[in-house]
Chains A and B, each alone.
Chain A
Amino acid sequence: MVDPRISIIDGRLRGVKDIIVVSSGKGGVGKSLTASVLALILTRRGYKVGLLDLDFTSPSTHLILGVRGLNPTEDKGIIPVEVFGLRHMSIVYYTKDKSTSLRGEDLSNILTELLAVTGWGELDFLILDMPPGIGDTTLDVIKYISRSRFLLVATPSILAFSTVQKLVDLLKSQNITIIGVLENIGRSDTALAKHVRDIGVKYLGTIPFDDQIEGSIGNVDKLFNTEFASSIEKLVLPNILEAR
C-alpha cells in the first residue's frame, strides 16, 4: 500500500526558489509575526512570496494579515488565497477558525495533503510558519523539504534558548541550513547573543518590545510602520537575501 501524495511534493514545490522556515522550540516568541511581516516585506520588495501557516491547531497568520472573507480556489488542486500581493494558505480556510484538536498522525496527514495539493506556482520565497517545538510538523518539513532554510526565533529567556538549542541540535544532525537566531522582545543586556554564538549559530540581532504591535495586528499598513517591521527588514532581510 503506497501513499501517492509523497511523490508529488517535490513537483508541487518545483517553482519555488527558496523555502524559509520560521521556527522555535518555544511558543509565544513571535514566530507567526516574524513569518508574516517577513512575507509582507519581501512582497513589497517585488519578490513573489507564499506564506503557509503550519500551526494547524493554533493558526494565526490570517489574523496578523487581517484576511477576511476569502477562500482558496480550485484549479487541478488548491490555489492559495491572494492577499496583499502574497499567496496565503492556512487550515483556517477549512476550519473556519473553530477549535480543532489534532493528534500526531493527523498533523502529518494535513501537512502531506497540503503539500501535495497546493499549487503555489512560481515563487521566489515560500515562508513556512511553524508550530512550536520539534514534533511531527518539524520532522515532516525536514523529511519532505530538506532544502528548507530555518530562521529561528527566541526571546531573551533561558527557557526559550534551551528549546532553541534542541532545535539547533536536530537541524544540525540532519544537515539543514540555519539562517540564524533572531531575538524578539529583547533587551540590551541579555546573554542570548553569546549563547547562540557558543553553539555555532549566527545571532541576527534583537528586536525590542514594540508596544505598537498589538494595535497593528490585522492591519498591514500599520504593521509596516512598526519598529518590529523595521527591525525585520534590517536584521533578517540581508541574511535571507545574501545566501541566495
Chain B
Amino acid sequence: MHEWALAEAVITTVEEIVEREKYEEVFEVSLTIGELQQIDTGIMKFALKHLKEGKLKKAKFSIKMHKASFKCNVCGNLWVFNKNKFNEEVSEAIHFIPEVSHTYIKCPKCKSPDFNIVEGRGLYIQKIRGRK
C-alpha cells in the first residue's frame, strides 16, 4: 500500500524534528492530506500506529483532509475536484501521482490542460505537540 510509504515518510520526518528540536516526548502530530492523494485514512492511521516508536510511542496522529481545487492558467476559471468522474484506473493513477490529474482533467470552461492545483495536493506535517 502506498499509504505505508507515506506513513514511513511522516515518521522519519517527525523523528528528525524531534531530534533537532530536542523533544523528550511527542503527544500529538497534526497532518493535512490533500484530497487528490485519495489516501485511505484508515490504512494511514494503522500504518502510523504500527511504525511509531521511541519518543513517538504515545503520540496521536490527527488527519485533516483538504478539498482539491484548480485554477485555469488560461481563462482563470476555478473549480473543484470531483473523483466520481473517473474510473478506478484513473483514480488509482491520481492517487499515486496527483500531478497526473493534468493528463485526465481539463478546465471545464475552456478545456485547457494548463491549470494549477490550488489546494488539495500533498501530505504535510502541520504541527507537533510534545514535551521538550
Contacts and interface: CB of A to CB of B under 8 A. Distances in A.
Nearest to B123: A4
Interface in A85-108: 91, 94-96, 98-103, 105-106
B113 interface: yes
A241 B128 CA distance: 46
Contact of A78 (B10, B96, B99, B114): B96
B124 A109 contact: no
Contacts of A8: 5, 8-9, 12-13
Given A91-B100, A101-B114, A77 B125 contact: no
Given A91-B97, A102-B102, A110-B99, A117 B5 contact: yes
Interface in B104-119: 104, 113-114, 116-117
Contact of A94 (B100, B116, B124, B126): B100
A129 B121 CA distance: 26
Contact of B13 (A2, A78, A95): A2
Contacts of A94: 93, 96-97, 100, 103
Nearest to B32: A1
A12 B76 CA distance: 39
Contacts, number: 99
Contacts of A83: none
Interface in A190-228: none
Given A7-B13, A99-B113, A110-B97, A1 B124 contact: yes
B13 A4 contact: yes
Interface string A1-20: 11111111001000000000
A74 interface: yes
B87 to A, nearest CB: 12
Q: How big is the B interface, by class?
A: 20 to 34
Contacts of A123: none
A100 B6 contact: no
B10 A4 contact: yes
B2 interface: yes
Q: Which secondary structure characterizes the binding site on chain A? A: mixed
B116 to A, nearest CB: 7
Nearest to B16: A7
Given A98-B103, A100-B100, A102-B102, A4 B12 contact: yes
A109 B99 contact: yes
Contacts of B14: 4
A119 interface: yes
Contacts of B124: 1-4
A101 B113 contact: yes
B6 A117 contact: yes
Contacts of B16: 7
A196 to B, nearest CB: 36
Contact of A116 (B5, B17, B113, B117): B5
A76 interface: yes
B5 A76 contact: yes
A7 B99 contact: no
A114 interface: yes
Contacts of A11: 8, 12
Interface in B1-46: 1-2, 4-6, 8-10, 12-14, 16-17, 32
Given A94-B97, A114-B97, A116-B9, 15 more contacts: A2-B17, A3-B123, A4-B6, A4-B124, A7-B16, A8-B9, A11-B12, A74-B2, A75-B1, A94-B100, A100-B103, A101-B113, A109-B98, A117-B2, A117-B6
5 contacts: A4-B9, A4-B13, A8-B8, A76-B5, A78-B5
